[in-house]
Amino acid sequence: MSLKINVVLQDQNNQQIAILSDKPIRVSSWGTGGIVHQGVVYPLYEGFIVFEQSEVFSKNEFPNFAESMDDFQFQNNENAHDHFEFYFEQSKYASYLAISGNEDEIEDFFNFCESQNLAERKGLSFRPAKDGIQYDYFFRLNRNVEKHQIEKAISEFHPSLTPKENKDISEDSDASLNEFKKKNAELNEKIELLEKQVSSNAEEILALQINNDELLLKLNDAEKTGTQYKSELETIKKREISKDKELGQVIDNEVADLTNLVKKLETENQELKIGIKSETSKLTAMGNKINDLEQTISDLRSQLHNNNNSGSNVVKKHLQKVYTFLFQNVFSTFEFENEDIDLIMKRFNDPTAILKELFKIFNKEEKSKPFHGIRDKNIREISKISTGTPGIVDCGRLYFERTNEGKIKIAIDLKDEKQQSNFVKKRFT
């Protein structure tokens, strides 16, 4: 069973921040004890103290658990890594070295790599590498640097320092990992789950980091360009001040002109309202007149029906005069043929529907569809007009075309698909 202790968390001024209870003691590969706090390992100092500002490590660097006080040693100022842990990443944009170890050793090692033209920049690592491990630092390597060159550099820099990634690929690594899993089954499940989640996002994060580097380069260029633009902008501002004065006078003149125009439009609008009121009265009177005519026509048709044998010619003549008057005086813009009136009189027992459609056309309120049978003609069609006549109830058709002179050509027919095109060509060409 692993040894658990209560640990005092202190700040850099040795002031107590909190008590961390029941913390298992983890042991690094170099023998130092530590405890996990907020996902990372803090080295353990004498008196069972950890410091908030101390160097922290990954759990993989402290793979074992202490069962007694003899299994570990406390951290001190002289204690340091005896190895580097590193991971080599390469993409089509750049290569990186993720690395953990003693801070001073890593700084010296970076200077060594920089002198060998292997690395160009160092920084704190803010994300796990592709192997799922959170390393302390990263080196951005120069182009075309290979992994074997880094391993050689580590050996040349300090022969006593062991590159941990080389040991990870040895045959003993599997056995060590199995032993570690047996001792830490519960914690290992959580670690594996987190590593899978981190690994799935590692490539995306690396791409973002590479993109960030490219954006920094662009930002530097933009800052240089911005300085030039700032100078040019100052010159433009001076010019604009004088232009603003001239523009202000122009705007004042425009405002005065617009004010006068608004007054003129208000006067014209008032006159237009008076005209609309007059036209509305005329349309109302026309509607009443049409209603009266429809009633007269209906009465005449009834009389015609009741007098088939006597006086029918008189009624027909009377009815024809009414339709002629309607087309010539009410629908004054219509151009029609006498055969249209004859068709209404002979084939439309109830002319109400056809007259309503004519009234809608006159007032531009109709619902129609285009007739495509004749080129270069804007002919419209209204179909399925009720005739009130048995056998041809919804067979009425009305064709019309508005001319540039303000007239409306009218043609009335009954449904006949075979003769439709010939009828329209005859009337409109």
For residue range 87-127, list pLDDT tens digits in order.
998 887 789 999 988 888 899 999 999 999 999 999 998 78
Tell me whether residue 112 is in a domain: yes
With beta carbons less than 8 A apart as the criterion, state whether 61 and 168 touch. no
pLDDT score of 371 more than 80: yes
pLDDT beyond 90 at 207:
no
Does residue 57 sit in the same domain as residue 115? no
What is the percent of the chain where pLDDT is above 90?
A: 32
Q: Evaluate if residue 171 carries a pLDDT over 60.
A: no
pLDDT at site 176: 42
Q: How far apart are the first and last CA of the chain?
A: 107
Together in a domain, 97 and 32: no
Better pLDDT: 49 or 282: 49
Same domain? 110 vs 43: no
Residue 15 lies inside a defined structural domain of this protein: yes
Q: Does residue 166 sit within a domain? A: yes
Q: Which residues pair with 34 in a beta bridge?
A: 26, 43
Whether residue 273 lies inside any domain: the answer is no
Identify whether the C-beta of residue 370 lies closer than 8 Å to the C-beta of residue 381: yes
Q: For position 300, what pLDDT does the model report?
A: 60
Number of structural domains the chain divides into: 3
Strands 4-10 and 49-51 come out as parallel
* Shared domain check, 113 and 59: no
Q: Band of the pLDDT at 180, cuts 50, 70, 90?
A: very low
Q: How confident is residue 80, by pLDDT bands cut at 50, 70 and 90? A: very low
Query: Which has more confidence, 52 or 320?
Result: 52
Q: What is the pLDDT of residue 411?
A: 95
Radius of gyration of the chain (CA): 49
Domain C-terminal end among 124, 159, 183: 183
Question: Are 65 and 94 within one domain?
Answer: no
φ, ψ for residue 17 (rounded to 5)? -105, -45
**289: helix, strand or coil:** helix
Range of 203-217, 270-284, 328-342 with top mean pLDDT: 328-342
Instruction: Tell which residue, 65, 367, 19, has the closest CA to residue 188.
Output: 65
pLDDT of residue 255: 67
For the record, the structure tokens of 75 come out as 């951290």
Q: What is the DSSP letter of 82?
A: S
Residues 99, 43 within the same domain: no
Phi, psi at 312, each rounded to 5°: -65, -35
**Domain end call among 167, 183, 199:** 183
Co-location of 89 and 149 in the same domain: yes
87 and 62 in one domain?
no
42: containing domain: 4-71
Query: At which of 71, 99, 116 does a domain end?
Result: 71
- pLDDT of 412: 94
The answer to whether residue 325 is domain-embedded is no
Q: Is 67 exposed, middle or buried (0-12, 13-18, 19+ CB in 10 A)?
A: middle
CATH number assigned to the domain comprising residue 125: 3.30.70
Q: 9-13, 298-302, 378-382: lowest mean pLDDT where?
A: 298-302
Residues 63 and 131 in one domain: no
Same domain, 59 and 118: no
Q: Which residues contact 220 (CB under 8 A, 6 or more apart)?
A: none
Q: Is residue 36 part of a domain?
A: yes
Q: Which residue has the higher pLDDT, 153 or 285?
A: 153
Q: C-alpha angle with apex 291: 290 to 294, nearest 5 degrees?
A: 85
Mean pLDDT lowest among 41-55, 138-152, 182-196: 182-196
Q: Is residue 350 part of a domain?
A: yes
The reply to whether 21 falls in a domain is yes
Over residues 361-382, the mean pLDDT reads 90
Pair 99, 150 in one domain: yes
Same domain, 391 and 339: yes
The per-residue pLDDT for 174 is 41
What's the pLDDT at 213? 79
> How many alpha carbons fall within 13 Å on the CB side of residue 52?
11
* Residues pairing with 37 in the sheet: 40
Rounded to the nearest integer, the mean pLDDT of the chain is 79
Q: What is the pTM of this model?
A: 0.33
Question: How many other β-carbons are positioned within 10 Å of the β-carbon of residue 133?
Answer: 20
